[in-house]
Amino acid sequence: MRWGLLTESQYKVLVCRGKGMTQRETAVELGTSRANVSMIEARARRRVEMADQTLEAYKSTITDHAVIVPKGTRFYEIPSVILGEGDRCGVHLKSNIVDIVRMVNGVEPSALSGGKTNRSICFVFNKAGKLRLEKRPGAPG
């Protein structure tokens, strides 16, 4: 059986400690010394902390945030809706007003008529500031 980054002994020590057992009780249970349990536990907790930090760093790069521009939004207001949501989330978007206008015109031109959106448009950005426009399934183009 695999325990990810933990050795079998590290896993067993953390299980015992998670049940509320003292290091001395854990040592008796596992047939080792209390000092050895202390060392194994410290190493295991360091590995778990490093794994948590790695996972958080990974999540921060892939977490997407959707911004829905509602139907009836004036064309010239779309960039401020997107950039404002980025600011609200504390994300510096790598796209500017011109980029956003080009995205709409290039990917979803059919979503505009009379200077307004005729349906909602979905933009998505990640914590790194990369912005993309989600093309509506079935939309022409």
pLDDT tens track for 16-29: 999 999 999 999 99
Average pLDDT, the chain: 89
Give the burial class of 56: count Cβ atoms within 10 A of its Cβ; 0-12 exposed, 13-18 middle, 19 or more buried.
Answer: exposed
Does residue 139 register a pLDDT over 60? no
Structure tokens of 44?
């295991």
Asked whether the beta carbons of 10 and 40 are under 8 A apart, the reply is yes
Task: Kindly list the domain boundaries of the chain, sorted by start residue.
Answer: 8-61, 63-134
Position 137 scores a pLDDT of 54
Q: How far apart are CA 108 and CA 136, in angstroms?
A: 8
Reported pTM: 0.53
pLDDT tens track for 63-74: 788 999 999 999
Best CA proximity match to 42, nearest among 66, 6, 75: 6
